[in-house]
Amino acid sequence: MTEQNPVAAAPVQERPALQHRTNRGLTKYFFLGILTLGIYPLVVESHISEELNTVASKYDGKHTMHYCIIFFLLSWLTLNIATIVWYHRTSARMGDELRRRGIDYSFGASDFWLWNILGSLILVGPFIYVHKRMKAMNLINADYNQKG
């Protein structure tokens, strides 16, 4: 009778080969957005949509539409409603992924509505939302880079 080592039989979870970015921040987003005439935020949001699909689709079965499709095709057709829906859904999905991974950071669709929409009345709200969004994605990506 052969004995099996229970440690060797357990599947080893390896770190993903592709490491996602964890260095996003409000300052870089804002100043590079100005410097590149708005191209840098498009690139960041596009990467967020791709990375969110890579990190979360296996668990929640959802697919986030690429940001360029929203920005270039649907936003002007829907009078920007598609962009609002996209931000609501990605914020909610990021919040769900934070909770699923056990990351202690509060972020979700309510942050989009409170800080980005309602907070625009006090002018700094959208900046707080972008900061929270970048931090949430950095935390999700850091956890993904470690655990897969």
pLDDT digits over 29-42, tens only? 999 999 999 999 99
Burial of 127-141, coded b for 16+ CB within 10 Å and e otherwise, reads bbbbbbbbebbbbbb
Global pTM value: 0.86
pLDDT at 143: 95
**Measured in Å, how far apart are the chain's first and last C-alpha atoms?**
36
Give me the mean pLDDT over the 79-106 stretch: 97
Torsion of CA 21, 22, 25, 30, to 10 degrees: 0
How many angstroms separate the CA atoms of 48 and 40, rounded?
Answer: 12
Q: What mean pLDDT value characterizes the chain?
A: 91
